[in-house]
Amino acid sequence: MLLIADSGSTKTDWRLVDEEGKTINSVQCKGLNPYFLTEAEIAKIIKNEVTPIASEVDKVIFYGAGCGLPVKVEQVKSAIESVISVKYPTEVYGDILGAARSLLQDQKGITCILGTGANSCVYDGHEIINNVPSLGYILADWGSGTVLCKDLIALILQQKLDPEIIADFHATFDMDTRQILDKIYNKPQANRFLASFTPFLLKHADNPSCQDIIKDNFRKFFDYYVIPYGPQNMDLPISFTGSIAYHFCDFLEEVATEFGIKIKSIVQHPMSGLVKYHCQTVPAIK
């Protein structure tokens, strides 16, 4: 049995599959980003929410946000192996490699993530060969749910959006400025808090001011996360995964056209592609 995990900053999808890729069981838990959770916290969440479906597992393959540095990889790997018994060593990779393997399998291309966070890479059909620095939502992550909603909240608190939108916001969330700022500056996982307003932005996506937020973010995304790969890579197929890319696909494709880029595919969740990759394209257990 193979247990595959796809973890963002907001949630983690787990899929238990047999050698042919047939789903035996699945479960979802909170995001397990090692930048926001300790090893002990990650282990506790997995023990409580994942081990009930993981009594017979040969191997665990984990793709996660925040798993770009070796020290973070070891932190997650140790947490998993402390609560799940496996026959083969656990493998932990960054979420961007998971996205590339899911969307492109063994083909070359550019893969992008637009969810709670943002990222991209050039993939050679097996590994990442180029990747712009992932600087997080304070310094980058344009187009992500966190930064889109950060910009939205800023305009709401500055009273710079239509009064109807501002009134709807306060009626929907019943939070004053002090409470919002406390959540952002004094509470843990501010990125998840900010991204939680994505449905509200989507609700008002037909408003010109909200469209400006969305399109401006996507333009910055292409400027930072795609264009730097150079003209030699612009002919490669480019694919997206993540809730933001999926739900705001019309705006994403419109901005891509401005840059002369044609998007090959937009997939909300990468798990099905990961199952195919590890069970058919490059079997994880031979």
pLDDT at 123: 97
Q: What is the mean pLDDT of residues 123-140?
A: 92
pLDDT at 286: 62
Q: What is the mean pLDDT of residues 129-139?
A: 91
Q: What is the mean pLDDT of residues 110-121?
A: 95
In this structure, are strands 263-267 and 2-7 parallel, antiparallel, or unpaired? unpaired
pTM: 0.90
User: What is the C-alpha separation between 123 and 104, in angstroms, rounded?
Assistant: 8
pLDDT at 270: 94
Q: What is the mean pLDDT of residues 35-45?
A: 94
Q: What is the mean pLDDT of residues 61-75?
A: 94
pLDDT category, 9, cuts 50, 70, 90?
A: confident
User: What is the C-alpha separation between 84 and 76, in angstroms, rounded?
Assistant: 12
What angle separates helix 145-157 from helix 163-173, to the nearest 10 degrees?
110
36 versus 183: the higher-pLDDT residue is: 183
pLDDT category, 134, cuts 50, 70, 90?
A: confident
Range from 132-136, 215-219, 265-269 carrying the lowest mean pLDDT? 132-136
* CB-count exposure of residue 70 (10 Å: 0-12, 13-18, 19+): exposed
**What is the average pLDDT value for the chain, to the nearest integer?**
94
pLDDT at 31: 92
Helix (H, G, I), strand (E, B) or coil at 171: helix
User: What is the C-alpha separation between 255 and 259, in angstroms, rounded?
Assistant: 7
Contact by Cβ (8 Å): 235, 262: no
In this structure, are strands 11-17 and 23-30 parallel, antiparallel, or unpaired? antiparallel
81 versus 8: the higher-pLDDT residue is: 81
Q: What is the mean pLDDT of residues 167-173?
A: 96
Q: What is the mean pLDDT of residues 216-225?
A: 98
Q: What is the mean pLDDT of residues 114-126?
A: 95
Is the predicted pLDDT of residue 19 greater than 90, yes or no?
no
Q: What is the mean pLDDT of residues 239-259?
A: 97
pLDDT at 282: 87
In the chain, % of residues over pLDDT 90: 88
